[in-house]
Structure 1
Amino acid sequence: MTDKQNLVENRVNELISSGNAAYVDDDFSAAAAAYSSALQISGITAKTAAQIYSLRAQASIRMEDYVKAVYDANLAIQADGSLDKAYLRKGIACFYLEEYETAKSAFLSGLSHTSKPEVFRLWLRKCEAELEEENAESVPSTSASQLHKENESSAKDQATHVAKQQEAEPISSPVSDTTGETCGTQKPAKYRHQWFQSPAAVTLAVMAKGIKAEQADISVQRQSVHIAIKAPRSEDAEYELALELFAPVVADSAKVEFLSTKVEIRLPKAEPNVHWASLEAAGGGAPAPAAAAAAAAAPPAGGGDSRPSYPSSYAAARKQVRDWDKIEGELKGEVEDEKLEGDAALQKLFRDIYANADEDTRRAMNKSFVESNGTVLSTNWSEIGSKKVECTPPEGMEVKKYDS
Structure 2
Amino acid sequence: MSADVSKGKVALDNKDYQSAVKHFSDALKTSQAPSWLLERSTAYHRLGQHKLALRDANKALVIAINRGKREIIADAQYRRGIVLHGLKQYGNARVCFHWCKNYNEKKSGLTMWMSKVTTDYDLNGGAQAECNAVTIKEVPESVDDDLNEVDQSIELNSEKEDAKAEKDILGANSSVSKPPDSKIRHDWYQSQSHVTVNILVKGIPKETTTVNIKKRSLEISFPSTTSQSTCTFLFEPLYSTIEVTKSSFSVTPHKIEVILQKTMAGLKWPTLQSSSSDPVGEDLVSPLMTETNVGGTKIMSHPPVYPTSSRNGPKNWDVIVDNEDEEESIDEPDAFFKTLYKNADPDTKRAMIKSFQESNGTALSTQWSDVGSRKVEVVPPDGVEAKRWDA
TM tier, smaller: 0.3 to 0.5
TM-score by length of 2: 0.34
**Higher helix share goes to which structure?**
1
TM-score by length of 1: 0.33
Larger RCO (CA within 8 A; separation ≥ 6): 2
In our comparison, the structure showing a higher alpha carbon Rg is 1
